[in-house]
Chain A
């Protein structure tokens, strides 16, 4: 079953089209990366899923049901702009937010204790949020997002504001949640997050979805039959009707790394066969496109300078 199925979702603000017939499919129990530059419409889509705003047209099904007010309780949302009540104590705050998500006071209490223990911050219950560091407050906010054990968790830039140690901790918790059956939507700019965590991705640009699918398949689709070879000596020539030498770098002393693009139909084995005769091979691998590569390529084709620039910065 799909955790979320959006069909032709459109949202127009007075003169600006924020979402233009966007359809996405988020399979259950996956980590789904929602990518795109600022202003592309990611936040609008997320807010529509959270029922903070309504779409002008289109339909959203959540676990097969039409999105309704009651579904608030099965969604956990961590907005990009983090915030808590500064004057409230950590425990009270979590209790309040959990109850707003429909948990009973009693259940909320028990779960908060479990989570505080998981993060080894049991003694924070009576601390005021304003006395916490930014990273500490982020942890509290993460807990508030998942406390009601939502089936669908929406995380907007979940790692911003975390140091590497805590980012690792959060990553573990996210994978744990996925193991336990939650579906997770990531909205992010960080390509390394997408590479390592996401199973599915969608790219939204200028209010439109321009790419969607399982990460593996997307990568497969964008294979360019390029190989990375490490070898001794720099001089070799390959038949130019079959190969194109893209780039050669000296690694050390007599060791070189060369990028070779083979014409379509030539498989890796064939490349090795052709190479062993003319040079001493140290390593050989197919160079798969990174997510960033794919996007930049896609966007170049799309002729969108702004997005290309943005992705390069990232």
Chain B
């Protein structure tokens, strides 16, 4: 056991001391806040520096009253279109808007003339200004005032509450659960794959550099394999912990800097201010109350339990697949050669991954979801995808026990292939050959 500890130490220190470890550990969590930060910064800058575009207007209908705002400065022209076009061409203005006489029930024939292709956003903004005005005209025509209209607007938000067996009420939110399950499931999938491949790479390196014969003359091959798997797992856990801490700290920092406002919210406020539109304000308030509700719901989730389950399935899944990756690494002599074996062993993991989208997130309590989250090969991805939605304890216990059994089983198989494989060179390896190694006596 002392020797396994030495191997774990070497695997851990050797990886942690590498520059690449330092770089990925620090850079990865920086990427997301950095992208968000840069985008928010650019949006702010652009909003500040934006000048209103001048739009010349030839309104032959006489139905419009244009108010210049932050976005557009309107210059009404009282000349025929042909003349206006010529005049527009000599200016540097953004656009020339032409409104012919029209029927409010069939508003047609409006044209915008520009020198360059205008952005969809700007055209859309102009369109909505026109639409608002025509709608107002219609309201007038139908003799409906704005207040009546406002009172007609209805908004319903179903509050979700889980009634537990004890009658305890728990507010829930399927959206949070969806994203939580989605995020955690993908994390497990990625971790198992990334660190599994690291195990394989390590085994191949030891085999091709021939150091392995020296090592196995000092320790049992199984100890070497175990030490490597555990060593890399601790690297993964360390990296993950640092990521969590850094991401939390950074996002708090970034959000704090921008006044705890998400970019969308901020944009909406801008719009509301500018348009001075009651409807938007109401919608925004609703949105805000929804956001706080989301926060509250999130913290009502059994976060401790979820974290525990996540770490358990991360380790369980990693150990289960890590052993298989080690076995493949021991059999081949290069990464290229390993490819043909990689796909079959990761197939169940991939099934879990697709199952996450097709069944678990849609229907966490269906029978397919149940089986996926209980079978050890798919359960690491599937169970963390389900956990937020509340999994009965007996299912969780069954799944955990099976996962432990599963990784003991794969480790046992892998160990038998590994002990023979690492000393075999120049053999053309196939599944059949590996099966033979597995059957071989010590």
Q: Is residue B36 contacting chain A, with contact meaning CB distance below 8 A?
A: no
A100–B213 CB distance below 8 A: no
Q: Is residue A101 contacting chain B, with contact meaning CB distance below 8 A?
A: yes
A284 vs chain B, min Cβ distance (A): 50
A56–B441 CB distance below 8 A: yes
B442–A83 CB distance below 8 A: no
A270 vs chain B, min Cβ distance (A): 54
A53–B442 CB distance below 8 A: yes
A77–B442 CB distance below 8 A: no
Q: Is residue B163 contacting chain A, with contact meaning CB distance below 8 A?
A: no
Contact with B along A69-94 (1 / 0, CB 8 A): 00010010101011111111000000
Chain B residues with CB under 8 Å of A144's CB are 214
Which B-chain residue is minimally distant from A98 (CB atoms)? Answer: B218
Contact with A along B402-430 (1 / 0, CB 8 A): 00000000000000000000010000000
Contact flag A83-B217 (CB < 8 Å), given A96-B6, A96-B10, A99-B6: no
A47–B214 CA distance with the chains assembled, in angstroms: 11
Q: Is residue A177 contacting chain B, with contact meaning CB distance below 8 A?
A: no
A13–B14 CA distance with the chains assembled, in angstroms: 36
A81–B436 CA distance with the chains assembled, in angstroms: 25
Number of A-B contacts (CB under 8 A): 60
Q: Pick the contact of B209: A14, A56, A86, A96 (CB < 8 A).
A: A86
Q: Pick the contact of A82: B6, B206, B210, B221 (CB < 8 A).
A: B210
In the complex, which range does the number of interface residues on chain A fall in?
A: 20 to 34
A100–B219 CB distance below 8 A: yes
Q: Pick the contact of A52: B14, B205, B211, B217 (CB < 8 A).
A: B217
Chain B residues with CB under 8 Å of A101's CB are 218
Q: Is residue A193 contacting chain B, with contact meaning CB distance below 8 A?
A: no
Q: Is residue B260 contacting chain A, with contact meaning CB distance below 8 A?
A: no
Which residues of chain B from 321 to 377 have a CB within 8 Å of any chain A CB?
A: none
A234–B294 CA distance with the chains assembled, in angstroms: 113
Which residues of chain B from 194 to 251 have a CB within 8 Å of any chain A CB?
A: 205-206, 209-219, 221
A72–B219 CA distance with the chains assembled, in angstroms: 8
Q: Is residue B44 contacting chain A, with contact meaning CB distance below 8 A?
A: no
B213–A81 CB distance below 8 A: yes
B209–A79 CB distance below 8 A: no
Which residues of chain A from 85 to 118 have a CB within 8 Å of any chain B CB?
A: 85-88, 96-97, 99-101
A interface with B by C-beta (< 8 Å)? 13-14, 47, 50-54, 56, 72, 75, 77, 79, 81-88, 96-97, 99-101, 141, 144
| Top-7 shortest CB links A-B | A83-B210, A100-B218, A83-B211, A54-B442, A81-B210, A50-B217, A79-B213
